[in-house]
Amino acid sequence: MSSQLGALVGAHLSDRRRSLLAWGVPLGLWSAFIVLIFPSVEDALSKATRDYPPALKEAFGIGELTNVEQYLHAEMLSLIVPLAIGYLAVRAVASGLSGAAESGRLDILLSAPVSRSRLAAASFAATAVELAIVLALTVALTGLGSLVSGADLSLGSALAGYANVWPLALVFAALGMIATGFSLRTSVVTGSVAGVLVTMYVIDLVGRLDPDLSGIRYASVFRYYGNAIEDGIDPIAFLGISAAAVALAALGAWLFDRRDLAA
Amino acid sequence: MAVIETDGLTKLYGNARGIEDVTISVEAAEVFGFLGPNGAGKTTAIRTLLDLLHPTSGSARIFGLDSHRDSVAIRARLGNLPGDFGYGKQASGREALSLLARLRGIDGLGRADSLAKRFRADLDRPLGQLSRGNRQKVGLILACFHSPELLILDEPTSGLDPLMQEEFLALVAEERERGCTVVLSSHELDEVERVCDRVGIVREGKLIAVERLADLLGKTQSRNSVEVEFAEPVELEDVRAIPGVVGAKFAHPTLEEIFLTYYEGEDAQ
C-alpha cells in the first residue's frame, strides 16, 4: 500500500510547507552570511584562532580557520545546525503523531483503512523528506552566498557537511516517535527529546574536553557525527546512524501501535 | 449476522471511569443509540469498538471480524465521526476528503459534494476559519462520503443548528433505508427518540438497559400512564390528590422522562 504512504507523506509536507520555509530560509541566510563575511574576516580569524586553547579547538572541532569550509564548520555545523535540525526533526515527527492526536486529525485518519504502524512510518518518512528539503535549501542559499562573495566554497563539501546532519537528526525524530509511545502531548514529546538532544551534545563536548572522560562519548550519537565538510562523509558512520534511526523508529511505531488513543 | 457483537467488553484506565462488561449485538440496517450523560462511557465504548482504545477484557467483533486484529479491514467498511470533531486549522474539508479518499483507494470524492450542498457546508475554506457547527458538517461528510456499510457517530448533532439537525435525522433514516447500520451516541434524547430503533442506556460505564425504543416507550407508558375522562374540567392538582392516582403528568412520557427514571436518586447518592 505504497500509495497510502505517499498520500500521508504528501499531506504531511503540505501541512508543514510554512515550516519548511520558516526553518530553511533563516538557516540558509545565516549560513550564507557566514560565507559572505569570510573573505573580509579571514586574516583576523586565522590570527585569532592560533591563540585559542587547543582543548577548545578540539571540543568544537575547530582547526585552523584558513578556508571557508573550516569557518562554516566552526560557525554552523559544529553546534547550531545539528541542534536546530535535531529539534526540527522532533517537532516534525511529533506534528504527525501527537500533534495529530491533539488536533483530532489522528481519529479521522484512523477511521480509514490504514494501520497505526503505517501512519507512524509515514510520519517518519515525511520528517526525513522535510529535513532533506530544509538542508537542501540551506545549502542552496549558502552556495549563493559563496557566489556573491567569491569565497570559493566547494559546493560538494558544503553538501557533504549539511547532508551529514540528516541521519543525526533522524535519530532524534525516532526518539520523538518513541516518546509518542508514552505521551500524546506534543509539549512533553518535544521537551523530553530536546532535553536528550542537548544532553547528548554536552556529553560529547565533555568527552572531548577531558580525555579521561572520553568514554562517555559512546553514550552520545554526536560521537559519530564527525566533520564531513572537511573530511567528507564517513559512509560507515552515515549508514550506521541511519540504521540506528530506522531501528529506533521501528520501536517507536511498535509502541505507538500498542498504546491507547484516548479522546 | 450481527454487524457488531461485543462480549463483556471492558475498558478500565487509571482512576478514570471506562466501560464495564458491555455486551451488545447490533443487527444490519439497524440504528442503535448509546444514551447517557457526559462521562457515562459512551465515547469509551465507541473508541474501544474502533480499536482506538484496547480493551482490558472482553471482545468485540464487527462484520464478524475481530475489532483489534482485523481493525484495518473493518475500517475499510465504516465511516466514523469522532466526538468533538477536529482536523487542524490549515487544511480545508476538501483536502481532508482528498486524503481520506486516497487512503480508502477511492477515485474522486464520492457523494461529498452532494452532501456538502445538502448540509450547506463549505469544503474549500480552511477548517480553522469555520464555526464549530460548520466544522461538524464537514466531519459528517467525512464520515459518510464513501457510503459505508457502518456509520459510527459520536454526538453527531453537536453544534448543528435545528435545521441541520433535521437534515441529519433525515440522512440517518436514508442511510438505514440503504442498508447501512448506524451506531450513534447522544445525550440529545429527542433526536434519539426520532431516529433510533434500539437504545442502550449507559450509566457509570455499565450498560444498564438495551431495548427496542418502541418497547421501552410502550412498557413505560403502560406502567405509568392513565387516561381519565371527566364530565367537567378539572385541575391537574385535583387529579393528583385522588388517593391511588400517581404520575398523571406522565400520560405521554417522552424518552427524556423515561431516561431520567434510570437516574432517579442519583443526586442523593
Contact B103 A8 (CB under 8 A): yes
B110 band by pLDDT with thresholds 50, 70 and 90: confident
Mean pLDDT for chain B overall: 88
B269 band by pLDDT with thresholds 50, 70 and 90: very low
pLDDT tens readout for residues B67-89: 999 999 999 999 999 998 999 88
- What is the distance between the alpha carbons of residues B158 and B166, in angstroms, rounded to a whole number? 13
Specify the DSSP class assigned to residue A176.
H
Cβ-based burial of A43 (10 A; exposed 0-12, middle 13-18, buried ≥19): exposed
DSSP letters for A31-80: HHHHHHHHHHHHHHHHHHHHTS-HHHHHHTT-----SHHHHHIIIIITTH
Residue of B nearest to A18 (CA): B90
Residue A1 has pLDDT above 70, yes or no: no
Query: In 3-state terms, what secondary structure has residue A185?
Result: coil
Query: Which distant-in-sequence residues (6+ apart) come within 8 Å of B16 by Cβ?
Result: none
β-partners of residue B206 are B20, B203
**Which chain B positions have a beta carbon within 8 Å of A15's beta carbon?**
88, 90-91
Chain CA centroid to CA A208, Å: 21
Residues 28-57 of B with CB under 8 A from A: 43, 47, 50, 52-54
β-partners of residue B153 are B81, B184
ipTM above 0.90, yes or no: no
Cell, residue B267: 443526586
- What is the distance between the alpha carbons of residues A63 and A78, in angstroms, rounded to a whole number? 12
Distance from CA of A22 to the nearest CA of B (A): 16
More confident residue, A51 or A28: A28
pLDDT tens readout for residues A53-74: 777 777 666 666 778 998 899 8
Per the CB < 8 A criterion, the answer to whether B204 and B40 are in contact is yes
C-alpha distance from residue A96 to each of A118, A123, B188, B205, B241 (Å): 12, 5, 34, 32, 66
Per the CB < 8 A criterion, the answer to whether B151 and B175 are in contact is yes
Of the candidates B61, B69, B68, which has an alpha carbon nearest to the alpha carbon of residue B25? Answer: B61
Q: Is A100 on the interface with B (CB under 8 A)?
A: yes
pLDDT tens readout for residues B131-176: 999 999 999 999 999 999 999 999 999 999 888 898 999 999 999 9
Dihedral (CA of B240, B245, B248, B250) sign? positive
B227 band by pLDDT with thresholds 50, 70 and 90: low
Cell, residue B26: 447490533
Query: In 3-state terms, what secondary structure has residue A224?
Result: helix
DSSP letters for B29-71: T-EEEEE--TTSSHHHHHHHHTTSS--SEEEEEETTEETTTTH
If you average pLDDT over residues A176-186, what whole number do you get? 97
Q: Is A236 on the interface with B (CB under 8 A)?
A: no
pLDDT at position B162 = 85
Query: In 3-state terms, what secondary structure has residue B89?
Result: coil
Cell, residue A109: 485518519
A33 band by pLDDT with thresholds 50, 70 and 90: very high
**Which chain A positions have a beta carbon within 8 Å of B96's beta carbon?**
108
Helices (runs of H) and strands (runs of E) counted in chain B: 10, 11
Residue B268 has pLDDT above 60, yes or no: no
Q: Is A3 on the interface with B (CB under 8 A)?
A: yes
**Closest Cβ opposite residue B43 in set A111, A258, A263:** A263
**Closest Cβ opposite residue A113 in set B52, B89, B104:** B104
Question: Which residue segments constitute the domains of chain B, with CATH numbers given?
Answer: 4-213 (3.40.50.300), 217-261 (no CATH)
- What is the distance between the alpha carbons of residues B51 and B129, in angstroms, rounded to a whole number? 31
Domain parsing of chain A, residue ranges? 2-258
Give the number of other Cβ atoms within 10 Å of residue A55's Cβ.
12
* % pLDDT > 90, chain A: 81
Per the CB < 8 A criterion, the answer to whether B56 and B78 are in contact is no
**Which chain B positions have a beta carbon within 8 Å of A100's beta carbon?**
88
Contact B100 A103 (CB under 8 A): no
Residue B250 has pLDDT above 50, yes or no: no
b/e code B36-75 from CB counts within 10 Å (16+ = b): beeebbbbbbbbbbbbbbebeebebbbbeeebeebbbebb
**Closest Cβ opposite residue A260 in set B53, B78, B105:** B53
pLDDT tens readout for residues B192-203: 888 999 999 999
Specify the DSSP class assigned to residue A213.
G
B264 band by pLDDT with thresholds 50, 70 and 90: low
Distance from CA of B98 to the nearest CA of A (A): 9
* % pLDDT > 90, chain B: 64
Q: What is the pTM of this model?
A: 0.87
Cβ-based burial of A254 (10 A; exposed 0-12, middle 13-18, buried ≥19): middle
pLDDT at position A160 = 97
